[in-house]
Amino acid sequence: MAYVTWSLETLERFCKDVFTTFGFSVEESAQISDVLLTADLFGIESHGMQRMVRYHKGIEKGQIHLDAQPEVVFETPISATIDGHSAMGQLVSVFAMKKAIEKAKTCGIGIVTVRESNHYGIAGYYAKMASDQGLIGFSCTNSEAIMVPTFARQAMIGSNPIAVAVPADPVPFLFDASTTVVTRGKLEMYNKMGKPLPEGWALDENGVPCSEAPRVLSNIVGKNGGGIMPLGGSSETLGSHKGYGWGMVAELFSSILSQGVTSNECCTFEGRTGICHGFAAIDPAAFGDPDAIREHFSEYLKELRCAPLADGATRIYTHGEKEVLAQEHRRKNGVPVNDGTMVELLDLCDYLKLDFASYFPGYEPPAEFAGFAGNY
């Protein structure tokens, strides 16, 4: 599948217009767009423009409530529980992380848990909100069940990503990873490209390894069994139980503390998904001189990058470096979007009565995409 490159400004204008046309305010549309396009800038294609179709579906089905506002339903000086009332996940999550940051600046730590939200994009966006202000940031979420627990054949846990961001020089530390081998978005990308899934990614309805993306995705949607393996695969030999356990940690800080919907029940209701999130911010000053802590961590990261290289390797990266490099390159040279996603954006423009050609002049889908429905 081919890619076409567009400037960040082009994609920003398109995204903002789409969300304002759906009914979000200008400010809300800008915030949602920033989360989406940060993923594309970081090179996380699975959570960028190609997610537009998911939000269209959520709005159309009434799962995303356009006029909903997050509500604090329980609060202490260091913690809060928020009911998102099925608002757009990005908007609920920015609200929640801002509250965690505010509490951390006042008390040294802020922990916020959220129930009744929606898909929130990349976990790292919210952890980075804290590190950008000199704090340690944490973010996690549950989601529709796609992870098959070790020794099971039914998906019971979401991709349940965990992100941690820490201030450092010259590049901040940013770790953001699902607790499954890959995310559902990766399967969607392979489905668009018509490629078989790599070995060790997914299981069919009988709990047997499967390389057919359409089959696995259909089983996830239909709750027919199978799904994506936990980090470590499908057996304890390579640590499947560890990915399964980390998925449960994300579940604890999102759905359990908020008393919300667990992954196995997410997206099974009419008019709501029930997705839950967890956020935390920690002020390093609670442990000593924050500048000295930052310098200490930065020195360790430098030592990691300077460790002896394996044969054939050319460079060691620390978490967050690749994202910074990708962002610099894409801001300068443009953001690649694959043809399958472009066709979905064309369909979205038809639905919203927007002029596709005014955003993407000269683009024509390749002949092989005639009748392509993508992830609709």
Task: Output the pLDDT for position 185.
Answer: 83
Q: Residue range 156-176: average pLDDT?
A: 97
Q: What percent of the chain has pLDDT over 70?
A: 98
pLDDT over 60 (residue 181): yes
Q: How high is the mean pLDDT of the chain?
A: 95
* CB contact set of 183 (below 8 Å; sequence gap of 6+): 46, 47, 146, 159, 161, 228
Q: pTM score, two decimals?
A: 0.94
Question: From its phi and psi, is residue 350 left (phi > 0), alpha (psi between -120 and 50) or beta?
Answer: alpha
The conformation of residue 254, written as its DSSP 8-state character, comes to: I
**What gap in Å lies between CA 150 and CA 287, rounded to an integer?**
38
- From CA 21, how far away is CA 7, in angstroms rounded? 21
What DSSP letter does each residue of 203-218 carry, written as one string? Answer: E-TTS-EE--HHHHHH
Q: Are strands 109-117 and 71-75 parallel, antiparallel or unpaired?
A: unpaired
Q: In this structure, what token pair is assigned to residue 145?
A: 């069940």
Query: What is 3-63+330-369's CATH number?
Result: 1.10.1530.10
Cα dihedral 92→94→96→98 (10° resolution): -150
**Higher per-residue pLDDT: 359 or 365:** 359
Distance (Å, whole) CA 150 – CA 245? 10
Q: Say what angle helices 184-193 and 339-352 make with each other, to 10 degrees.
A: 100
Sign of the Cα torsion 351, 357, 360, 364 reads: positive
pLDDT over threshold 50, residue 226: yes
**What pLDDT, in 10s, does the model give residues 64-115?**
999 999 999 999 999 999 999 999 999 999 999 999 999 999 999 999 999 9
**Residue 214 CA to its chain's centroid (Å):** 21
C-alpha to C-alpha distances, 254 to 91, 116, 123, 309, nearest whole angstrom: 16, 10, 12, 39
User: Residue 186 — pLDDT band, cuts 50, 70, 90?
Assistant: confident
Cα separation values, 331 from 30, 31, 41, Å: 17, 18, 7
Helix 26-42 with 8-22: angle, nearest 10 deg:
140
Answer whether residue 243 shows pLDDT above 80: yes
Residue boundaries of the structural domains of the chain: 3-63+330-369
- What does DSSP say about strands 79-83 and 109-117: parallel, antiparallel, or unpaired? parallel
- Does 123 score more than 50 pLDDT? yes
pLDDT tier, 365 (very low <50, low <70, confident <90, very high otherwise) = confident
* Per-residue pLDDT reduced to its tens digit, 262-273: 999 999 999 999
Question: What band does 46 get if pLDDT is binned at 50, 70 and 90?
Answer: confident
Strand-pair partners of 277? 114, 141
The proportion of the chain whose per-residue pLDDT surpasses 90, expressed as a percent, equals 91
pLDDT given for residue 371 in this prediction: 57
Q: What is the pLDDT of residue 337?
A: 95
Tell which phi-psi region holds residue 165, choosing left (phi > 0), alpha (psi between -120 and 50) or beta: beta
- What pLDDT does residue 192 have? 81
Residue 188 pLDDT exceeds 50: yes
Dihedral sign computed on CA atoms, order 135, 252, 93, 13: positive
